[in-house]
Amino acid sequence: MKILVTGGSGMVGKCIKDLIGLYPTHGFTFLSSKDCDLTNRYETQCYFQNGCFDYVIHLAANVGGLYKNMNKGIEMFSDNIKINENVLEACKRYSVNRGIFVLSSCIYTPEPSKFPMDESMIHEGPPHPSNEGYAYAKRMLELQCRQYNKKFNTKYMCLIPVNLYGPYDNFRNGDAHVIPDLMARFHKDKINDDESIVFGTGEPLRQFLYAKDFAKLILNVLLDDTNIQSMICCNDEVKISKMVDVLSETMEMDKEKMSFNVDMPNGCMRKTVSNEKLKSIYPYFKFTSLKDGLRETYTWFKNNYPSNVRL
């Protein structure tokens, strides 16, 4: 099978690329924004027409951390709506009838009817105001996939990861997610012997997922005849403060030089989701622990900083 991976130069795309040796009967194409502008309908159509793909793994998105979401909501909504619409239209037109489409746990409402939230609750209540542009675009992707499946009998499946981190992440200050942002800032502070400040109180609860684990799950779902509409991919829940403790120990930080700036916004305090469906389908899947995942990520970071990491 010929498999197209959009967003192929991003963290998850590169983690998938590290695994393709395990699938020698499949051919993978990793698409980056340099190859095709997926916000452009004509370019997207031409690329799919020339590629003759069988499956798609759709990772491409305008994505970032809390502060990028707060400051660039218009761009994140508009870009992601265009990207998703163009990719789905091209898939249907050029007979790509099976694929993985990636959402995010941030699409859920911060005030649900119950915790943990499951796949049936994607559209329950508004998302948190801090990321509503990105969240609504991702919600619409689930709706679009569902409508295509209903009308054309396609198998477009939505996977919903929690906060991803790992090798190849975006460590640029200002638009990175919480773990890579902290890792990059802590590393600079350690080199310069500066104090390290964590934004917010540390009280919000989060679930973190190692990107290599998510890459494995994507390939499992795509290639083993699983047929689902949506599935949450998550690991255990921890407080931000606990994650910071594990990260600081991993990086051998001086904890006396660390503090929380409680005047900075926390974002959503809790967005706990359930992996009950995942466990029922893959009962023996083994997640990487937060400690091991952070250690492997920091090793990669040190080996690539500063030459290959744009901060």
Listed in sequence order, the residues at least 6 apart from 105 whose beta carbon sits closer than 8 Å to its beta carbon are 160, 161, 162, 163, 207, 232, 234, 271, 273
State how far Cα 210 lies from the chain centre.
10
Backbone torsions φ then ψ of 250, nearest 5 degrees: -60, -40
Set 134, 156, 165, 210: catalytic member: 134
Listed in sequence order, the residues at least 6 apart from 4 whose beta carbon sits closer than 8 Å to its beta carbon are 29, 31, 48, 51, 53, 55, 56, 57, 96
Look up 94 and say whether it is catalytic: no
Name the packing angle between helices 240-250 and 290-304 (round to 10°). Answer: 50
Q: Where are the alpha helices (DSSP H) in the chain?
A: 11-17, 41-51, 66-71, 73-93, 132-152, 178-192, 211-223, 240-250, 276-281, 290-304
* Dihedral of alpha carbons 64, 65, 68, 71, sign: positive
d(CA 282, CA 285): 6
Listed in sequence order, the residues at least 6 apart from 47 whose beta carbon sits closer than 8 Å to its beta carbon are 31, 35, 36, 90
d(CA 16, CA 37): 21
d(CA 84, CA 97): 15
d(CA 132, CA 76): 9
Cβ proximity of 29 and 5 under 8 Å: yes
Catalytic residues: 134
